[in-house]
Structure formats: structure tokens, C-alpha cells
Amino acid sequence: MNTPNAARAAAPGRLFYNGHFYTGRGYTAGALWAQGGRIRALGGAELAAAVPPGVPRTDLGGGWALPGFNDSHLHLLDVGRGMDAIDLFGARSPADIAARCRAFLRQNAVPPGRAVYGNGWNQDLFAGARALPTRECLDAAAPDNPLLLDRVCGHIMLCNTAALRAAGITRHTPDPPGGGIDRGPGGEPNGLLRDNAVALVRGLLEPETQAVCAARWRAAAARAAAHGLTGAQTCDVRSRDWRTVLPALQSLDEQGALPLRLTLQCAMDTPDDLRALWAAGYRPGAHGKRWKMGPLKLFLDGSLGARTAWLRGGYADAPGRHGLCCMPYPRALELARLADAAGMQVIGHAIGDGAVEEMLDIIAALNAPRGGANPLRHGVVHCQITAPGQWARLAALGAGALVQPIFLDYDHTIVAARCGKTLAATSYAFGTAVRRGVPVSYGTDAPVESLDPLRNLYAAVTRRPLAGGAPWQPDQAVTRAQALGCYTQGSAWQEFAEGEKGRLAPGYLADFTVLDRDYFSVPEHEIPALRVLRTVVGGEESYAAGG
């Protein structure tokens, strides 16, 4: 009797033909036969002729197939949550924020007293004065509804007076460790909460049910597939809500409703939280059909735009301020050692050079008993503001760098002012990382940026803003092949999957993205305009343009 696996392997699979398949040495194949979820063969007309007549066939219409895009760090569930939230992306003023809030409350008939979430505002995009907004701009628009409005980076939340009052935040409320409550005249809270202080108001939001969570997973995953993503390493498992988030994801997976593969990055706050996660069956190695448990994620600092990234030398445009150390070294190392002892990879959110140094120290401490070897591939997420010598140290540690070139589109306008020209000159050095042999993988940190891999590739290759203009630090650009490698093979390495992901070759997973034109030959400025025609995961279409 055939086992289920044997039956699957014996299934005819599917032939994809009339395409151009990039195999790492150019487009050397025109057809791909997928069987049992993997690539059985690549070839040309001879393969199409040799495949048995009963095998289903898909005509790619001359499309250009690349190994599937794999985002090495984002927050996919938060993308879905944002679809239900007040959309503040591109807001041009505090008044614009208030108007959008007022319209949302009216259009959705939100009853008085219910807290409402929104995200996406960025004061650096305001027309005219670019000061941070405060609660006063919101109070007339929503006197009876607590508003919790995340900045685009997720490291500052703007609240109205109703939210502060409901959470009991007053002039006497102390700043929590790793967080900050901004204050106005007389010490009264002005509505801005930084990093760990956001926890003071988060409980005001209506608890997310498993059904709502599953719907948000589904919506975000569909959007990711439409952008050509076949995989994502997503940081959505958190101490506060994993008991809802993980069952919701599992339910979709069991229904066959996940259109891409997910590796779950776990931002657990305490050792007890991590042990509870494991005790519930989510230990390292746990997996479903299209999800698997991934690394522990440490949040070590904030963001540059919010001035909460931890800079050792302080902010050039805010003397005396250094940002926030959100998880001090002893606490972070305790968590990291617990994970490492269980065979769990550890990665750290580190944007400022202070946080980067802390994560490098943690990796060095974890690897010391192994003679400096890094078999668990501990790494650093973001690596934006880096001081001289930090990339060399990262390379020496054999640590991965999970970076977001698309951040350049906005950050190049503020980095010199925030950090000073000297530190800015050694930052966002992603080209240096590749040339030093650091294992680099690309991601978007969505919803901070769009899920779109093509914008990310453009930023890495050109170092230019999306709107055009002069490149910023063009010596840090990479080639198109290097950029694609970071989005495919680099991301596969980061999740220990380089033996089955990131390439189009026999035996590898049949995961690929079909574009309307050749990524390698279109003019650089047209890379963001390339269109995804199909996304294929395990030999099955998860997205088709016009489908």
C-alpha cells in the first residue's frame, strides 16, 4: 500500500512551460516540471516533450521566473491588522491625522467608548512644520473614543486624552523601563508614548478573537503572495497574544489556506514566557505544512525616525538624547542563553550602533563555549546605524544580517541630521556587508514599508530614492545578482533552508515568482515597475495576475 508521501510523490505534478527560468547562470531553462511540491526537472522543449501527456500544464506566456522571494523580516499579521485600522500613511499634517480619524469613526459607526487603532503617520512627511503631533490635535475629532495611533515605525504611539484617561496615565505615571512618556508644560503627558510605554495603553483595544486573527492572517498572506513572496520570516509571535495568534495560523494551515511558507520569529519578553510557549508545543522544530517555529527575537532599541534608536554618541539634532535601550544586556543575555541552550536561534532588533554592539556582545557570549562557532546562525536585524568595525566584527562572528535596503528611501533624508555626518558615512553599509562575506538577507519590515520586494531590490541596486534623484552612498550599492541572492539564497540560509529554498534546481522546492519582464535587463529605474504575473509555491499557483 502506498503511504501518503509516496502517493504525493507519484502524483503527476505540473509542467510550467514557455517561460524563462533563472537557474543562477542565467535563464538556462524554458520549462520546469514540479512533482510532490519539488522541482523534478528543468529543461527546454525536450523536457516538455518528455513529460507524460497526463501531466497538467501551465503556459507562462514568456514570463521570467526567479527563485521565490523570501522576506527575512517583517510583521505579516500586523499588515493584516493594518487593513482594518485607521490608515494614516502619507498624512500631511496633524489636522490630516485628525480628519482621517473622524472619518473612520463616522464611516464605521464606532460606538462611544470603544478604543480604535491606527497606524502609518510620519511627522517627517508633514508639509511645513514637522514637529511630532500631540493629543491636542485629536481631542476634538474623538472626544469619546480612545485613539491609539502608531507611528509608521511602530516605536511611538500617539494617543488622545480619552486614551490617556482610560489607561490612567497622569503626570505622576513614571516612565517604564525601556520606554518613555513624553510630557508637555507642567509635566502633563502630551499623548506620545515611546517603545515599552505603549504597553500602558495596548490593553484598551478590544481583544482579538481567533476568527478575527485568522481573517487578518489570510488577508495579509494573500497580499504577500500578490507581491511575489513565496516565503516570509515573520515576527508576530509575542508574549501578549501568541495563544490567539498561533492557533489562528494553524487553522488556516490545516485548511490549506496559506499561500506562502512562514518562519515564525518569536518576540518573547521573559524566560517564563518562552518556557510557556515551549510547554504549549511550540518548541524549536515545531512546524505545520507551511509554517515552522523560528528564532527568538530580542527588541533591543527603537527606531531612528522616532529618535528611540540607541546611539552611543547621542543624537546630533537632540543633544543629550541617546534613544532607548529597550532590553538591558543582562536581561537580554538571560533570554538568549535559554533559547540557545534549547537549540533556538536568536536574532536582535538593533537599529542604533549601541543596540548593534549589544547584540554583537550577546552573540559573542553565546558562541564562546563553542570556540566562537555560530552553528545556530544568531544574527542582527536592521543593522542600520553602524560604527567603524562593527561589520568586521559581525563577519568574524559568522552572524547573519537581516537588512532592509528600502529603508534608504526615507532614512537618507534624516540620517545625517540625526546621527551626524561621520556616523552616517559608515551606516547602511549593506554593500560592505556583502563584500565582506556576511550572510545578508533582505526584508521589508512590513508594515513599516510595503511588502513589495521589487522596491527593495531597486534600493539595494541603485541606492536612489523611489522618486528618483541622486544615489546616497553609491559605493554601497550591490549588483542585481547579489541583491536577488540576498532575497532568495540569503534568506534561505537565515532559516536553515538553503538546501531546499532560494534556487531553481532539481530537488529544491518548486517555489518561484514569474515577472512580466527580465529583472536583469530592464533599466534600473524600471525595476519597481516590474509586474508579478504568478507566484508558485510547491508547484501550486498561490497568485495569478487577473485571477
Domain boundaries, the chain: 4-62, 71-75+209-532, 90-151+155-202
Q: pLDDT at position 199, please?
A: 96
* pLDDT > 70? residue 297: yes
> Among residues of the chain, what percentage have pLDDT more than 70?
98
Q: For 196-230, how does the pLDDT look when each residue is reduced to its tens digit (9 = 90+)?
A: 999 999 999 999 999 999 999 999 999 999 999 99
pLDDT at 16: 98
Which residue, among 463, 487, 234, has the nearest Cα to 347 in the 3D structure? 234
pLDDT averaged over every residue in the chain: 96
Task: Give the end-to-end CA distance of the chain in Å, rounded to a whole number.
Answer: 38
What are the distances in angstroms from CA 78 to CA 153, 249, 266, 311, 351? 12, 13, 14, 27, 20
Query: Is omega for the bond preceding 447 within 30 degrees of 0, making it cis?
Result: yes
Helix and strand numbers (H, E) in the chain are 20, 24
> CA dist 526 to 110, 463, 544, Å?
43, 14, 21
Are the C-beta atoms of residues 53 and 116 closer than 8 Å to each other? no
- pLDDT tens digits for 328-383? 999 999 999 999 999 999 999 999 999 999 999 999 999 999 999 999 999 999 99
Q: Which amino acid would we find at residue 211?
A: A
| Range with the poorest average pLDDT among 1-10, 29-38, 203-212 | 1-10
pLDDT of residue 185: 86
* pLDDT (mean) for 499-517: 98
pLDDT at 4 over 50: no
Residue 11: its pLDDT value, please? 77
Quick one: pLDDT at residue 129?
A: 85
CB 233 within 8 A of CB 70: yes
**Own/partner pairs for 41-47, CB < 8 Å, 24+ apart?**
41/506, 42/504, 42/505, 42/506, 47/15
Mean pLDDT (whole number) for 500-511: 98
Residue 7 pLDDT greater than 50, yes or no? no
What pLDDT does 8 receive? 44
pLDDT, residue 10, reads 60
The kind and range of the H/E element at 482 are helix 480-487
From the centroid of its chain, how far is CA 395?
Answer: 22
Mean pLDDT calculated for residue range 186-205: 96
Sheet holding 69-74, edge to edge: 69-74, 229-238, 261-267, 291-299, 346-350, 379-382, 400-403, 440-442
pLDDT category of residue 3 using cuts at 50, 70 and 90: very low
| Lowest mean per-residue pLDDT among 122-131, 160-169, 484-493 | 122-131
Orientation of helix 329-341 relative to helix 353-367, angle to 10°: 40
> Distance between CA atoms of 439 and 493, rounded to whole angstroms?
8
DSSP H or E segment with residue 70: strand 69-74
Residue 98 confidence (pLDDT)? 97
CATH of 71-75+209-532, one of 3.40.630.30, 3.40.640.10, 3.20.20.140, 3.40.50.300: 3.20.20.140
pLDDT computed for residue 57 by the predictor: 97
Residue 9 confidence (pLDDT) above 90: no
pLDDT above 90 covers a percentage of the chain that reads 97
293 forms bridges with which residues in the sheet? 264
Scanning the structure block, which residue is given the C-alpha cell 521566473?
A: 65
Which residues are registered as beta bridge partners of 532?
515
Mean pLDDT of 514-534: 98
More reliable by pLDDT, 290 or 6: 290
Statement: residue 292 has pLDDT above 80: yes
Picking from 403, 299, 306, 303, the residue whose alpha carbon sits closest to that of residue 349 is 299
Residue 2 above 50 pLDDT? Answer: no
Average pLDDT over residues 482-504: 98
543, three cell numbers: 497568485
* pLDDT at residue 5 tops 50: no
CATH number of 4-62: 2.30.40.10
Other beta carbons within 10 angstroms of residue 242's beta carbon come to: 21
Residue range 392-408, pLDDT digits in tens: 999 999 999 999 999 99
Does position 465 have pLDDT exceeding 70, yes or no? yes
- Residue 382 CB burial class (10 angstroms; 0-12, 13-18, ≥19): buried
CA–CA dist 275, 261 (Å, integer): 25
Which tens digit of pLDDT belongs to each residue from 111-156?
A: 999 999 999 999 999 998 889 999 999 999 999 999 999 999 999 9
Q: 321 pLDDT exceeds 90? A: yes
Identify the CATH number of the domain defined by range 90-151+155-202.
Answer: 3.10.310.70
